[in-house]
């Protein structure tokens, strides 16, 4: 497949074009031509999805671009209208007398997903969804506005990260102090945005017949095979088995560095000799990545070549570029796109292999029956991304230098384990937030502080007052933008670490199972996909037992 990013286009829809197109699709269904109706609907959905992805990407690439911001505002306003048309058509399909014919085309899983989707929308909440989208864009722009004068340079949040991992303890402290001073200076706006979001989401839930936003949030995530009870049990497993392990790791790190007290700004320095960094700049990383994938798998190698040659990678950090990294896709062309902010730290490698996992899965799934299967639900999608981080271990020397490869693997494994308590803390916090929608900003900060002490009892912010009072959560964009998403990273990490254990015993078999799992896309619910890859569900007793045991042996803890 030879395609360039410059070839990707999608017409801008409007309320009028949506009404026209859905009228034509409904007419086909009324005439009894189910196949043509579904084909026309699939084409329309792919076009709208591709248009939305392009608009969002251009805004994220330059949040200061007025035209990109205007296009994003228009998308935010139109999306609920498009959702209204789509939900109405799903309801028609779900109540159609010839459900067998529909299922033969779409597959049974799509119908189960639609049954969940139709409970999450009514035209009454369109204005609320528009307001929610504008608030999340406001949060993105606020983060992107951060500027720091540090050691004679002007940097943004991503550019500040390397200083936060410096071998020099004072530099790490100054970087942390500068970062949280920005959040404290903008505390009123961060609090206001989230307060409005919380109340909006609660109001939407009530309009849809839910007591709180939590059940609506789960349905919006299309979770059809588990709920809050299973997630709460999983969080308890992390407290029981992973928190003590991470505490031992951090205690050993503090001792090895000769610190009598481990501060929050010390935690990012994972390796006492200094965190491993890429062995070259962004062009170097692109070239070496091709060698890495060539050595791993022929399909991965061909896919990466297409992405790199076609301009589907935006990896450098720029002043007005939004922070973070993500993978999006253009389903009208069957190709994904990777967005990142390289800053010369190990994070460049982590985010690159992570987003490549997402992208490879999406590409492998491009020929599945419909749009609903191109991406799985998010906890399944994160298995592909996080597992590739671990499966890249044998070839990681190509990116960091062979003499640093063992140190990188050690560091990345520690980070993977240390992430789990933080990830479930973010999830627990959101459950409390939406169970108490009338809480004040001060109440929410107190919630975070209390939960942080349970999941990360080692966390010590010293004299950085804003985080010490419970403000750390405001830097986690998922809490603002995609509620209840964050637990998915930890569920997927549980599965990815199982892939890691399997790869140590039989790398070829583990990689083969991984590629096969990518090809299944979103054709089944989370726990079915997990089982299909020979993995244990994170909700099953002992899912983390082998992982913890193997990690303790490898890390000699």
SS (H, E, C) 73-108: HHHHHHHHHHHHHHHHHHHHHHCCCCHHHHHHHHCH
Is there a contact between 215 and 223 (Cβ–Cβ < 8 Å)?
no
Burial of 169 (0-12, 13-18, 19+ CB in 10 A): middle
Residue 102 lies in a domain: yes
> Directed axis angle between helix 405-435 and helix 487-505, to 10°?
150
Distance of CA 250 to CAs 170, 273, 414, 463, 555, Å?
19, 15, 10, 20, 12
231: how many CB neighbours lie within 10 A of its CB?
23
**Distance between CA atoms of residues 405 and 410, nearest Å:** 9
Give me the residues paired with residue 338 across strands: 313, 327
CB 458 within 8 A of CB 425: no
> Measured between alpha carbons, how far is 118 from 115 in angstroms, rounded to an integer?
6
Closest CA to 169 of 277, 256, 269, 273: 269
Per-residue pLDDT, averaged over 312-333, amounts to 94
Q: Tokens 């950090």 belong to which residue?
A: 317
pLDDT exceeds cutoff 90 at 119: yes
- 32 within domain boundaries: yes
Chain center to CA of 512: 24
Closest listed residue to residue 337, CA positions, set 7, 45, 52, 53? 53
Give the Å distances, CA to CA, from 530 to 139, 185, 356, 359, 494: 34, 44, 20, 19, 11
Q: What is the number of domains present in the chain?
A: 1
pLDDT of residue 543: 87
pTM equals 0.93
Q: What pLDDT was estimated at residue 1?
A: 58
Q: What's the rounded mean pLDDT across residues 177-192?
A: 98
List the structure tokens of 433: 């937030």
Q: Could you tell me if residue 307 is inside a domain?
A: no
Is pLDDT of 557 > 90?
Answer: no
**Tens digit of each residue's pLDDT (9 = 90 or more) over 124-147:** 999 999 999 999 999 999 999 999
Q: Establish if 42 belongs to a structural domain.
A: yes
Among 429, 438, 433, 434, smallest CA distance to 205 is for 434
Contact 341, 321 (CB under 8 A): yes
Does 363 have pLDDT greater than 70?
A: yes
How many angstroms separate the CA atoms of 354 and 503, rounded? 17
Mean pLDDT within 11-22: 98
Region 403-413: mean pLDDT is 96
pLDDT beyond 90 at 282: yes
Q: Containing domain of residue 126, as a range?
A: 5-132
CA 240 – CA 226 distance, rounded (Å):
21
CB 445 within 8 A of CB 471: yes
User: Which tokens in the block code for residue 438?
Assistant: 């009338």
Please give the DSSP secondary-structure letter assigned to residue 331. Answer: T
Is 256 a member of any domain? no
pLDDT at position 155 is 94
Q: What percentage of the chain carries pLDDT values higher than 70?
A: 100
pLDDT digit string (tens) for 33-82? 999 999 999 999 999 999 999 999 999 999 999 999 999 999 999 999 99
The pLDDT value given to residue 361 = 98
Average pLDDT over residues 478-500: 97
Which of 208, 203, 210 has its CA nearest to residue 228? Answer: 210
Using the predicted structure, report yes or no on whether residue 301 has a pLDDT greater than 80.
yes
2 pLDDT band, cuts 50/70/90, is confident
Q: Name the strand (E) or helix (H) holding 153.
A: strand 153-155
Euclidean distance between CA atoms 502 and 539, whole angstroms: 19
Least Cα distance to 429 among 460, 413, 452 occurs for: 452
The rounded distance, in Å, linking the Cα atoms of 315 and 468 is 33
Distance in angstroms (rounded) separating the CA atoms of residues 404 and 335: 34
- Flag whether 424 is in a domain: no
Q: Where are the alpha helices (DSSP H) in 208-242?
A: 213-220, 228-237
Q: In this structure, what token pair is assigned to residue 491?
A: 């569920």
Task: State the chain's mean pLDDT as an integer.
Answer: 96
456 occurs within a structural domain: no
pLDDT tens digits for 226-261?
999 999 999 999 999 999 999 999 999 999 999 999
Distance CA 84, CA 87 (A): 5
CATH number (domain holding residue 106): 1.20.140
Task: Give yes or no for a contact between 208 and 120, defined as CB atoms under 8 angstroms apart.
Answer: yes
310: tokens are 């076609």
pLDDT surpassing 80 at residue 373: yes
Query: Does residue 108 lie in a domain region?
Result: yes
């Amino acid at each position: 497949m030879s395609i360039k990013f410059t070839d990707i286009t999608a017409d801008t829809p409007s309320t009028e074009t949506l009404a026209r197109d859905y009228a034509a699709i409904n007419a086909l269904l009324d005439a009894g031509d189910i196949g043509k109706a579904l084909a026309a609907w699939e084409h329309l959905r792919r076009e709208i999805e591709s248009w939305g992805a392009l608009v969002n990407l251009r805004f994220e690439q330059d949040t200061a671009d007025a035209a990109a911001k205007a296009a994003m505002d228009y998308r935010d306003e139109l999306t609920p209208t498009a959702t209204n048309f789509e939900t109405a058509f799903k309801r028609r399909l779900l109540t159609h007398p010839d459900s067998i014919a529909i299922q033969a085309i779409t597959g049974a899983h799509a119908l189960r997903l639609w049954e969940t989707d139709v409970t999450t929308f009514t035209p009454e909440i369109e204005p609320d969804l528009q307001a929610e989208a504008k608030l999340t864009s406001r949060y993105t722009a606020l983060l992107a506005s951060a500027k720091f004068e540090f050691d004679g340079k002007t940097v943004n949040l991503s550019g500040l990260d390397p200083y936060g991992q410096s071998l020099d303890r004072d530099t790490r402290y100054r970087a942390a102090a500068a970062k949280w001073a920005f959040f404290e200076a903008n505390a009123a706006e961060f609090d206001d945005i989230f307060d409005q979001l919380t109340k909006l989401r609660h109001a939407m839930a009530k309009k849809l017949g839910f007591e709180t936003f939590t059940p609506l949030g789960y349905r919006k995530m299309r979770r059809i095979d588990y709920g809050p009870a299973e997630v709460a049990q999983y969080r308890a497993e992390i407290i029981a088995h992973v928190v003590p392990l991470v505490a031992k790791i951090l205690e050993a790190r503090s001792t090895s560095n000769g610190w009598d007290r481990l501060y929050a700004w010390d935690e990012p320095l994972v390796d006492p000799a200094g965190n491993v960094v890429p062995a070259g700049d962004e062009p170097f990383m692109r070239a070496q990545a091709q060698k890495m994938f060539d050595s791993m798998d022929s399909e991965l190698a061909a896919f990466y070549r297409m992405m790199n040659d076609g301009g589907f990678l935006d990896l450098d950090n720029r002043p007005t570029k939004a922070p973070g990294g993500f993978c999006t896709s253009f389903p009208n062309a069957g190709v994904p796109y990777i967005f990142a902010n390289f800053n010369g730290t190990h994070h460049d490698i982590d985010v690159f292999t992570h987003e490549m996992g997402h992208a490879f899965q999406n590409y492998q799934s491009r020929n599945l029956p419909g749009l609903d299967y191109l991406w799985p639900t998010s906890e399944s999608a994160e298995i592909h991304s996080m597992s590739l981080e671990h499966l890249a271990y044998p070839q990681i020397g190509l990116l960091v230098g062979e003499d640093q490869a063992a140190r990188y693997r050690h560091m990345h494994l520690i980070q993977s384990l240390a992430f789990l308590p933080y990830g479930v803390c973010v999830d627990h916090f959101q459950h409390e937030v939406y169970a108490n929608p009338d809480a004040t900003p001060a109440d929410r900060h107190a919630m975070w502080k209390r939960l942080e002490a349970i999941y990360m009892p080692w966390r010590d912010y010293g004299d950085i007052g804003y985080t010490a009072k419970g403000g750390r959560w405001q830097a986690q964009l998922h809490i603002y933008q995609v509620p209840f998403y964050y637990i998915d990273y930890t569920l997927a990490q549980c599965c990815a670490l199982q892939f890691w254990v399997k790869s140590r015993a039989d790398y070829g078999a583990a990689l083969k199972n991984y590629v096969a799992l990518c090809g299944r896309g979103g054709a089944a619910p989370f726990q079915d996909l997990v089982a299909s890859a020979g993995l244990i569900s994170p909700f099953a007793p002992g899912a983390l037992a082998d992982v913890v045991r193997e990690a303790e042996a490898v890390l000699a803890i």
